[in-house]
Structure 1
Amino acid sequence: MKILVTGAAGFIGYHLCERLVSLGHEVIGLDNINGYYDVELKLARLKNLGILKSTIDYNTLVTSDIHRAQFHFIKLNLEDQENLPTLFIEQSFDMVCNLAAQAGVRYSLEKPMKYVESNIVGFVNLLECCRNSKVNKLVYASSSSVYGMNEKVPFSTDDNVDFPISMYAATKKSNELMAHTYSHLFNIETIGLRFFTVYGPWGRPDMAMFLFTDAIINDKPIKVFNKGNLSRDFTFIDDIIEGVIKILEKNSCSNNLYRLYNIGNGNPVKLLDFIEAIERTIGKKAIKEIMPMQPGDVKKTFADTTGLLNDYGYEPLTSVKDGVAKFIAWYKEYYDSEA
């Protein structure tokens, strides 16, 4: 298939592009390479896909040095209402996987307009491109943050999610509503994936796994929010990618064009236990700075993945112990090579 993957220089997008190409698909990767976090990490991911920094220019399609015709990359804003439709017309995609978004819960409290531009205007532009270019399947990233302060666990896609507590969560909830509208009006299959705390090699520097590892290795204090009384459904990147691949490649047994799934590990881990797993792997104790609860944060995430298991046979296989070890091995190799 010919698949557009947006957010291709991002953590999940990079891994998905690698996997799709290995399976023989033709992939066009799109990303605006913004400066929300270290641009050099994004460029290093693209280099692994065969896209060199010197070849990247806005709205220019670049061919991979490694994968040749199987992978191309274009630097483009999702909200670009002139060039994105042109790309769709020229490329005739079989399906789209939208992983591009302005990420981060806490940053959304500081820069809400960035979330409106990318996550709302950009998403509508993408939906319009799918509609006008007759792309009949859109898989897109939602987030576990839509559950807000939901205290019923595990979180189910049947739960009420009308009370987001961050602008990021509100934009993800709006994506689901807009997708429903386009499924209903234009017969586009839209599948929203509520991701739960993804971690692993090439992960984002603003996420707990990266922050904790970096701090412990470099003898810096780590911030432990809500006095450590937090739990997260930490999900290893390989498990996430296998789930996304199943959804892209296989037809569901459901006749419903609009669907939502939780994609997580289904096994929440206490934050302090997660930190302990990192300490054991590194062989060094963390310097803990105990902090209060942060605005926009939630105490616990816990995914009910029954829907994804029933419809696609999704089952995460990676333990936190193994996942942490794989991340730390990557971290040490990456920063040794950078030095």
Structure 2
Amino acid sequence: MKQKQQRQLNNVYLITGAVGFIGYFLSKKLLDQGLQVIGFDNINDYYDPQLKIDRLNQLKEYDNFVFVEGDLAEKVEIGAVFETYQPAIVVHLAAQAGVRYSLENPDAYIQSNIVGFFNILEACKKYPVNHLIYASSSSVYGSNTKVPFEETDRVDHPVSLYAATKKSNELMAHTYSHLYNIPATGLRFFTVYGPMGRPDMAYYSFLDKYFNGEAIKIYNNGDFANDLYRDFTFIDDIIRGIEKLILCPSDDLIPHRVFNIGNNKPVKLMEFIAALEKALGKSLNENVSFIKEYEPIKPGDVPATYASTNKLEDIVDFKPSTSITDGLQVFTDWYVHYYNKLQETSLRS
């Protein structure tokens, strides 16, 4: 029998992974609207913590922001946050990210993505919330060859531990939503990019390598006729989609739903790289060409990611509007400014 819950009436938003890429932009968006945001993050060193600290310092400028540094895997810590702040909306974005890194450090994925998410669900059960939104991933589609990916597709064959943990999250959320009447929404993200993004992502590392004089590795065997496709989604579009879901009446989302959130316009990897070269060239006012090395596709990677976003569009009118050209230009302009690359280029010349 489902348990009836007395839900929160306040306007407190708990964002886990608040100083991560998506978490930072979402927190800032809500703070700009005058809403109370509790940010939770462990500021780990999976990538350069300085970027996370810089994001955090910007969020700390808001009087309506409270930051809690903690570990998802510590159940008592999570419970204390819920008890103290009584969040009405929880957006759970914290997780150990990365497909390839899951081959090197699987323990981190179990602790953060499985144990950590279990602790979030338990807290939502004990301290009822109006809506739990959590990050899943397009990786759950595994080696699915049917495109575009639809939420009704089978996702029973993940090809990485990271994907397996995200599929597990969806199952766990469905169960808790069913048993305890928790309005829960999972979002399958499709390659989110933009300024202040994750340095472990390929598009970001390509710029790092360019300025270090190193070759970029392209995992498509140099097979341009059968190039990899990716559904790149600009961060502003992602944040608008999440914001629309937050505003969606919770009764429309019970007991549990999963949505793709992507661009619905897949781009060939080589076309993306060409667009990135062009954007960086504009940022630097010079011609840019990456040194390229072609290698076989990596274990855990998939040939194509392509989101059908019809379901989310029907619910909240989600329509990404940022082109690859415009999005990459914003990113490269930020990167050049953040790392003072324009000045370095001037000195070299």
Q: Taking structure 2 as the reference length, what is the TM-score of the superposition?
A: 0.90
What residue identity is the alignment partner of 2:50? E
Where does residue 242 of structure 2 map in the other structure? 244
Where does residue 311 of structure 1 map in the other structure? 315
**In the alignment, is the contact (CA less than 8 A) between 2:184 and 2:253 conserved in 1?**
no
1:36 equivalent in alignment to 2:30 = no
1:334 equivalent in alignment to 2:335 = no
Identity %: 53
Where does residue 24 of structure 1 map in the other structure? 34
Where does residue 197 of structure 2 map in the other structure? 203
* Distance of 1:255 and 1:140 partners within structure 2: 13
* Distance of 2:249 and 2:190 partners within structure 1: 23
* Distance of 1:276 and 1:252 partners within structure 2: 43
User: Which runs of 5 or more structure 1 residues have no equivalent in the other structure?
Assistant: 51-65
Among 259, 262, 266, the residue aligned to 1:261: 259
**In the alignment, is the contact (CA less than 8 A) between 1:136 and 1:188 conserved in 2?**
yes
Measured after TM superposition, the shift of residue 23 of structure 1 is 1.6
What residue identity is the alignment partner of 2:236? D
Secondary structure at the residue paired with 1:226? coil
1:47 equivalent in alignment to 2:57 = yes
> What is the number of equivalent residue pairs in this alignment?
323
Secondary structure at the residue paired with 1:227? coil
User: Residues 158-197 of structure 1 correspond to what in structure 2 (within 5 A)?
Assistant: 158-197=152-191
1:131-181 deviations in Å (ceiling 9; x for gaps) = 001123100000000000000000000000000000000000000000000
Secondary structure at the residue paired with 2:128? coil
Among 110, 121, 130, the residue aligned to 1:116: 110
* Distance of 2:198 and 2:162 partners within structure 1: 16
Could you say if the C-alpha distance between residues 89 and 253 of structure 1 is closer, same or farther in structure 2, counting changes exceeding 3 Å?
A: closer
User: Which runs of 5 or more structure 2 residues have no equivalent in the other structure?
Assistant: 1-10, 282-287, 345-349
Q: Taking structure 1 as the reference length, what is the TM-score of the superposition?
A: 0.93
Where does residue 6 of structure 1 map in the other structure? 16
Among 129, 152, 159, the residue aligned to 1:135: 129
1:308-327 deviations in Å (ceiling 9; x for gaps) = 10000100000000000000
Secondary structure at the residue paired with 1:82? helix
Deviates more, 1:75-84 or 1:166-175: 75-84
What is the alpha-carbon root mean square deviation over aligned residues?
1.4
* Distance of 2:308 and 2:253 partners within structure 1: 21
What residue identity is the alignment partner of 1:269? V
Where does residue 302 of structure 2 map in the other structure? 298
**In the alignment, is the contact (CA less than 8 A) between 1:253 and 1:311 conserved in 2?**
no
Where does residue 67 of structure 1 map in the other structure? 62
Measured after TM superposition, the shift of residue 217 of structure 1 is 3.6
Quick check: which has more Rg, 1 or 2?
2
Secondary structure at the residue paired with 2:221? helix
* Distance of 1:282 and 1:334 partners within structure 2: 13
User: Residues 67-106 of structure 1 correspond to what in structure 2 (within 5 A)?
Assistant: 67-68=62-63, 70-106=64-100
Where does residue 227 of structure 1 map in the other structure? 221
